[in-house]
Amino acid sequence: MLKKDNFGEHKTHYKLYKCGKNWAIMGITLVSLGVGTVTMTRAAAADSEVTNDSASQHVTSISTDASKNQHTSSNVILTNDDKSVSASINQDASASVVNKAVSATSQENSSVQNTSQATSTSKQESSSTKNTSQTTSTSNQEANSAKSINQTTRTSKQESSSTKNTSQTTSTSNQEANSAKSINQTTRTSNQESSSAKNTSQTTSTSSRKINSTKSQAQSLTITTTGKAVRATSTSVKKYSTKTKVSYSTLLQQLRTSKALISDEAALTHVDKDNFLKYFSLNGSATYDAKTGIVTITPNQNNQVGNFSLTSKIDMNKSFTLTGQVNLGSNPNGADGIGFAFHSGNTTDVGNAGGNLGIGGLQDAIGFKLDTWFNSYQAPSSDKNGSEISSTNSNGFGWNGDSANAPYGTFVKTSNQEISTANGSKVQRWWAQDTGESQALSKADIDGNFHDFVVNYDGATRTLTVSYTQASGKVLTWKTTVDSSYQAMAMVVSASTGAAKNLQQFKLTSFDFQEAATVNVKYVDTTGHQLAQGTANYPDGAYVNGRYTTKQLIIPNYRFIKMDDGSVTGTKSLDANGTLIQSGDNGTVIYVYVPEYMAIVKTVNETINYVDENGHALTTSYTANPIHILTVTNPVDGTTTTYYSTITTSIELDATTGRPVDSGWVLGNSQDFDAVTNPQIKGYTVTSTDAPNSDLQHVSAQTVTGDSGDLEFTVVYTKNAPIVTTESKTVNETIHYVYTDGTTAHDDYVAQPITFTRTVFTDAVTGEKTYGGWSAAQQFAAVDSPAIKGYTPDQSKISTQTVTGDSSDLEFTIVYTKNAPTVTTESKTVNETIHYVYTDGTIAHDDYVAQPITFTRTVSTDAVTGEKTYGGWSAAQQFAAVDSPAIKGYTPDQSKISTQTVTGDSSDLEFTVVYKADSTSTKPVKPEQPTIPTTPTEPVKPGQLTTPAKPDQPMTSDKSVQTITIKFVGQRLPQTNETDQQHMTLSGLLLLAMSGLLGLLGMAKRQHKE
């Protein structure tokens, strides 16, 4: 008995009698024609729609096609109350992929709803096949939390002579959930090929009907984004569909608020007691208890100064809230109180203590103070500018008078003012003054307890609000407006004590703010001492990738020499202008200055006159080699440094140190003229001299200082009898070899001394001496300067020196300067090779070898050590993308090798593309015309028939049950899906032909049976 189940009608075929068998065959043919007509005329759609039309429902199943490109773009259109929302999912294989599967139904627009739909179930049971399909769907309604939607697509293919295949899709979520939920969807597709197969799939849906069809259909809305192209197939099922409503409003809202989609720049920084030390630094007497979140700014001790400061700046275009409590101490007569300051200076800047409460001295500060000690006006006692005064030197800085009796609270602002000191001079100060309305606190508020304290800032209105809860429970509130010019501000909380004291604390509850991207800027001398204050500007705003600019200041008595290379402060300066690369502190711009030194040179001479008793000159006066005195004055502190020389008068100074550049200058407190022997004058004897500390034989060495004038002395001779004697003298030559820093470069050269002699005639009566000439002049040989690797002497040699008996010892200094490094160029080549192989490793195609890319860099070789220093490689370059060659019958695992960016540090690139053979399938030959069964010309008479043996099981022609798989690759047209229509048309024709053959075979069998 033949049994079929079509379109909900269960028909049982009864035994055909001979007279009615032709009508039964015609009925079967008509049914087949109807099914084929519906199949051929139904258009396929590439888009997936879910509508509330009860007449039809379209569901698209998108599956991966490994033979196509790796770029996927699919559209999903869901309709809710005649309003459509279109979501486009695009994916590139080279980018990070976010996979989302949307399968949703909605009954309330405020919730995210998920729908997995099964359109129909058809069941066919026969001697050859059995197919069942199941899809289970559960919707999620009224979800109150953001959900993360992940999708995994798995495809498996099985080949077996007898298999059982199950396809199941499940989408499950909880209802009325208060926590983050994850909806995971798995789509699994199994393709089976078998000559005799048993396939099982089950379908469960909100509306299910049994339909007379030759195939079972299970449909669910599935999106797979695996980096490969997708192909869509569509089936339309009429009448038996379910009305659904789909809304993306809540889903889109949840995606917008998902942590994965919130940019770091928009996220607020949250500070509490557990991470306090990550965002704040403690200074002075301040200590922190991580267990309680309490910062003890000052202990209950005299003369304490403490503060804690935020290590990054606050974006003043965004709102922030500081919530905590303050303890002003337990002594109502204690001091000084607590100050809160927001300022435009560096995050490391600290305000002046005492009467300024840590606010005075900060640039463009907007502060608030809880002042517990009344201070009247104090003029500065220091003549230095405010930036050069220690934060603990409150008297030196000075302060403005309080606007109310303590204790009280009020806002405070600073401005750059010229203030008169106690001695009447003018100095610059960032002067703090009370502003706005002061509100009195009660002495009862200084009770040793913590009181609620909140600082709230509205970035939209730029309103700063401070509230303090008194011991009585009353809440005091202060408000001020922050000017729009304040874009990013540092924050510091300070307290101090003096002769009066108190325990002063702040307890942090929370601090939520937006970190600005900023830099610090400092102006220091060569010792790292701060000279002035300045701020950076942010033309694009204090945001990541924005610009910052700073400027060089004109500082009296100083001049700029360089940006700090790390040798001054230990930190290398940022560029003066640049780009902000991260939120928070990006580093510090450090300008280095030196005093504007002043140099004065004067020359001191020494002259010695030789005369007789009557004052007549007996010989030429002696004139010493002049001594030059260089006095260098530091205009900052007025100190002077004195240098002496007999060989130079150059006043060029080193820009950094203020020392003279010329090595002929010698640092000292004084310099001496050499002692001078009184000349022997024939017939005369020295009887007196006016030179200090001198005898009759010599004018002693004379000391001169920067205050000395020219020296002039007289030696008096008396005539005497001549006596003949011989006198000798030795002259020496010494050469020193030093480096530029004065250290010894080589052992001194000491020449063989030269001795001179002469005859002296002394009058026997008067004692007068007449001197003969010195022995002949002699020479010190020329001396070549020794070679020292990597250095060059300032003199290649000391030339021949001619000396006489009148010559002094010769002394020379050769200075060696280190040679500049040798600069060469180094190159490097980077290659790209792509191999094409089959899965067994054999070569599928010739290798692709790209044009090599060459990089260069400079190499500096130290002249002394030979150590090499490498510069940066030339700019990064790219290998162009390479499409994988097409090989008939094979599919590469990569359609192309994408563009590759390489640098000088890159190694050679090597890729392997593997070609996998395409799966084979039986492709039927499409006949030009459908085959129509023919009627035998001469039917066999019944008496001549031989009845065949009845088979144990009905035999089925191989042709009638053969599964034909036709693959169409790369022929799908966008939107119109004409290729799919061609597939459906061909399927209808084949179905008609098979139905006709089945009818003829059935009729023939029954004729045999009869």
Q: Which residue has better confidence, 554 or 17? A: 554
> What pLDDT was estimated at residue 1009?
53
- Length of the chain (residues): 1010
pTM of the entire structure?
0.44
H or E segment to which residue 80 belongs: strand 72-80
Q: Give the mean model confidence (pLDDT) for residues 985-1005.
A: 69
Rounded to an integer, what distance in angstroms lies between the CA atom of residue 63 and that of residue 967? 14
957 belongs to a structural domain? yes
Q: Which amino acid is at 148?
A: S
503 belongs to a structural domain? yes
Please check whether residue 446 is in contact with residue 332, taking contact to mean a CB–CB distance below 8 angstroms.
yes
H or E segment to which residue 901 belongs: strand 900-902
Instruction: Give me the half-sphere count of Cα atoms (radius 13 Å) on the Cβ side of residue 913.
Output: 25
Q: Within this chain, do residues 871 and 849 fall inside the same structural domain, yes or no?
A: yes
864 confidence band (pLDDT: 50, 70, 90): confident
Rounded to an integer, what distance in angstroms lies between the CA atom of residue 123 and that of residue 121? 7
Rounded to an integer, what distance in angstroms lies between the CA atom of residue 776 and that of residue 803? 9
Could you tell me the CA-to-CA distances from 221 to 104, 105, 805, 983 in Å, in that order? 9, 11, 116, 22
**Least confident segment among 100-114, 260-274, 338-352, 947-961:** 100-114
Give yes or no for a cis peptide into 336 (omega within 30° of 0): yes
448 belongs to a structural domain? yes
Mean pLDDT of the chain: 75
With a cut of 70, say whether residue 1010 has pLDDT above it: no
Q: Within this chain, do residues 451 and 579 fall inside the same structural domain, yes or no?
A: no
Q: Within this chain, do residues 39 and 66 fall inside the same structural domain, yes or no?
A: no
Q: Within this chain, do residues 498 and 572 fall inside the same structural domain, yes or no?
A: no
> What pLDDT was estimated at residue 969?
37
H or E segment to which residue 31 belongs: helix 21-41
Rounded to an integer, what distance in angstroms lies between the CA atom of residue 210 and that of residue 963? 24
With a cut of 90, say whether residue 99 has pLDDT above it: no
CB atoms inside a 10 Å sphere around CB 64: 20
H or E segment to which residue 577 belongs: strand 577-579
């001197």: which residue's tokens? 771
pLDDT in tens, 751-807: 999 999 999 987 765 677 889 999 999 999 999 999 998 899 999 999 999 999 899
Could you tell me the CA-to-CA distances from 539 to 174, 235, 346, 487, 968 in Å, in that order? 50, 59, 18, 10, 59
Could you tell me the CA-to-CA distances from 147 to 100, 254, 386, 419 in Å, in that order? 11, 7, 57, 62
**Least confident segment among 30-39, 108-117, 400-409, 736-745:** 108-117
H or E segment to which residue 36 belongs: helix 21-41
Last residue of a domain, one of 257, 288, 308: 257
CB atoms inside a 10 Å sphere around CB 705: 13
* Token pair recorded at residue 818: 């280190």
Please check whether residue 165 is in contact with residue 79, taking contact to mean a CB–CB distance below 8 angstroms.
no
Q: Within this chain, do residues 137 and 158 fall inside the same structural domain, yes or no?
A: yes
> What pLDDT was estimated at residue 18?
54
Last residue of a domain, one of 227, 257, 287: 257
What b-and-e string marks burial along 640-671, b requiring 16 or more CB atoms within 10 Å of the CB?
ebbbbbeebebbebeeeebebebeebeeeeeb
């260069």: which residue's tokens? 856
878 belongs to a structural domain? yes
Q: Within this chain, do residues 285 and 386 fall inside the same structural domain, yes or no?
A: yes
> What pLDDT was estimated at residue 29?
73
Give the phi and the psi of residue 1008 in degrees, each rounded to 5.
Answer: -65, -40
> What pLDDT was estimated at residue 608?
96
Please check whether residue 815 is in contact with residue 739, taking contact to mean a CB–CB distance below 8 angstroms.
yes
Last residue of a domain, one of 555, 575, 595: 595
Could you tell me the CA-to-CA distances from 719 to 762, 763, 913 in Å, in that order? 10, 8, 117
Q: Give the mean model confidence (pLDDT) for residues 661-675.
A: 92
457 belongs to a structural domain? yes
With a cut of 70, say whether residue 925 has pLDDT above it: no
Rounded to an integer, what distance in angstroms lies between the CA atom of residue 947 and that of residue 994? 26
Find, among 409, 431, 427, 430, the residue nearest to 418 by Cα: 427
Q: Within this chain, do residues 440 and 501 fall inside the same structural domain, yes or no?
A: yes
Please check whether residue 246 is in contact with residue 57, taking contact to mean a CB–CB distance below 8 angstroms.
no
Q: Within this chain, do residues 896 and 932 fall inside the same structural domain, yes or no?
A: no
Kindly report the CATH number assigned to the domain that includes residue 400.
2.60.120.200
> What pLDDT was estimated at residue 362?
94
Q: Within this chain, do residues 30 and 60 fall inside the same structural domain, yes or no?
A: no
Q: Give the mean model confidence (pLDDT) for residues 369-375.
A: 94
Please check whether residue 144 is in contact with residue 177, taking contact to mean a CB–CB distance below 8 angstroms.
yes
Rounded to an integer, what distance in angstroms lies between the CA atom of residue 352 and that of residue 414? 12
* Token pair recorded at residue 769: 């001496």
**Least confident segment among 190-204, 361-375, 706-720:** 190-204
Find, among 268, 269, 203, 264, the residue nearest to 237 by Cα: 203
Could you tell me the residue range of the domain that residue 385 belongs to?
Answer: 269-513
Give yes or no for a cis peptide into 974 (omega within 30° of 0): no
Could you tell me the CA-to-CA distances from 816 to 574, 659, 793, 813 in Å, in that order? 34, 19, 4, 10
> What pLDDT was estimated at residue 390?
87
Work out how many domains the chain is built from and give that number.
5
383 confidence band (pLDDT: 50, 70, 90): confident
Find the Cα–Cα–Cα–Cα dihedral 753, 754, 759, 762, rounded to 10°. -40
> What pLDDT was estimated at residue 800?
96
């003890």: which residue's tokens? 296
Q: Which residue has better confidence, 328 or 179? A: 328
> What pLDDT was estimated at residue 683?
79
Please check whether residue 247 is in contact with residue 80, taking contact to mean a CB–CB distance below 8 angstroms.
yes
380 confidence band (pLDDT: 50, 70, 90): very high
Q: How many percent of the chain have pLDDT more than 90?
A: 53
Q: Give the mean model confidence (pLDDT) for residues 510-539.
A: 93
Strand partners, 473: none
* Secondary structure (3-state) at 614: coil
360 confidence band (pLDDT: 50, 70, 90): very high
Find, among 109, 101, 111, the residue nearest to 80 by Cα: 109
651 belongs to a structural domain? no
Tell me whether strands 463-469 and 56-64 are parallel, antiparallel or unpaired: unpaired
Find, among 795, 781, 782, the residue nearest to 745 by Cα: 795
Q: Which residue has better confidence, 738 or 983? A: 738
Please check whether residue 151 is in contact with residue 224, taking contact to mean a CB–CB distance below 8 angstroms.
yes
696 belongs to a structural domain? no
Radius of gyration of the chain (CA): 51
Q: Give the mean model confidence (pLDDT) for residues 649-676.
A: 90
CB atoms inside a 10 Å sphere around CB 940: 10
Q: Within this chain, do residues 337 and 393 fall inside the same structural domain, yes or no?
A: yes
Rounded to an integer, what distance in angstroms lies between the CA atom of residue 316 and that of residue 463? 10
Find, among 456, 457, 514, the residue nearest to 488 by Cα: 514
CB atoms inside a 10 Å sphere around CB 347: 21
DSSP string, 226-279: SSS-EEEEEEEEESS--------HHHHHHHHH-TTTS-GGGSPEEE-TTTHHHH
> What pLDDT was estimated at residue 993?
74
Where does 743-889 show beta strands of DSSP type E? 744-750, 754-762, 769-771, 778-780, 783-784, 791-793, 797-798, 801-803, 810-818, 822-830, 832-838, 843-849, 853-861, 868-870, 877-879, 882-883
Q: Within this chain, do residues 544 and 496 fall inside the same structural domain, yes or no?
A: no
Q: Within this chain, do residues 929 and 908 fall inside the same structural domain, yes or no?
A: no
Strand partners, 979: none
Find the Cα–Cα–Cα–Cα dihedral 924, 925, 928, 929, rounded to 10°. -40
With a cut of 50, say whether residue 80 has pLDDT above it: no
Q: Which amino acid is at 610?
A: Y
Highest mean pLDDT among 18-22, 55-59, 245-249, 955-959: 18-22
520 belongs to a structural domain? no
Please check whether residue 70 is in contact with residue 1002, taking contact to mean a CB–CB distance below 8 angstroms.
no
> What pLDDT was estimated at residue 660?
94
Please check whether residue 761 is in contact with residue 770, taking contact to mean a CB–CB distance below 8 angstroms.
yes
How is residue 985 annotated by DSSP? H
H or E segment to which residue 5 belongs: strand 3-6
> What pLDDT was estimated at residue 111?
35
* Secondary structure (3-state) at 463: strand
32 confidence band (pLDDT: 50, 70, 90): confident
Please check whether residue 517 is in contact with residue 540, taking contact to mean a CB–CB distance below 8 angstroms.
no
Q: Give the mean model confidence (pLDDT) for residues 916-945.
A: 53
Could you tell me the CA-to-CA distances from 156 to 181, 192, 312, 861, 922 in Å, in that order? 29, 9, 54, 62, 20
DSSP string, 503-558: -EEEEEEEEEEPBPEEEEEEEEETT--EEE----B-TT-SSTT-EEE------TTE
Sign of CA dihedral 61, 66, 67, 71: positive
> What pLDDT was estimated at residue 328?
97
Find, among 32, 196, 38, 122, the residue nearest to 994 by Cα: 32
